[in-house]
Amino acid sequence: MSMTYAYTAIADSDVPRASTPIFQHMLDTYSSESNKVISVWRAFAQDDMVFRPHLRSSSVQEIMKHQLLSERRFFGEFLGLPEPAPSDVLPKEQTPASYAGRMRDLAAPRLGFLASRNEDWWRESVPFFDVQRERIWIFWRRVLHTAHHRTQLTVYLRLLNKEVPPTYGPTADISWEGADPTRSVDAAGRK
């Protein structure tokens, strides 16, 4: 199955080749996950930025802000990448398109740095909050954290009665010829 997205912020051709080929999937995954986040963010309108489904929930804008700032912390503090100062992370305009653009602008240079790292760098244990973890573990923890917040916002889109863009396959709103979601026992048994 080939997925074609309506919008791609970081093209496959812009993803550098890893100096150690076994780590290429990490660059491809980070680029893909960033593209998915950006697609979801672009689905919001300016008026949606203050939406929160519950008083104790974060607003759309608060989640976007957290995503940008926490990625900067993971990549800068924990993984040791060159990152902008925290005061330079957030976009000047507080619009969905500005947040999406800022996500792209911050993600793209990380790919080049990560591509140049070797196995010793990835396997090195470094401080992560109050424990030590290998950089490769911290990287995957970041990807999972990002997916969590993207999923929050896809739920917000549904609650706002907006179209939910595809991330890992078709949605109730967007599908394509050849899409084959696994919604039955028969589909799960295909080989």
Strands 131-134, 125-128: pairing is antiparallel
Q: Domain boundaries in the chain?
A: 20-174
Q: Report phi then psi at 126, rounded to 5.
A: -135, 165
Fold of 20-174: Four Helix Bundle (Hemerythrin (Met), subunit A) (1.20.120)
Q: Tell me whether residue 109 is exposed, middle or buried, using C-beta atoms within 10 angstroms of its C-beta: 0 to 12, 13 to 18, 19 or more.
A: middle
pLDDT at 180: 76
pLDDT tens digits for range 68-108: 999 999 999 999 999 999 999 999 999 999 999 999 999 99
pLDDT tens digits for range 106-153: 999 999 999 999 999 999 999 999 999 999 999 999 999 999 999 999
Tokens of 8: 């791609």
pLDDT tens digits for range 5-40: 678 899 999 999 999 999 999 999 999 999 999 999
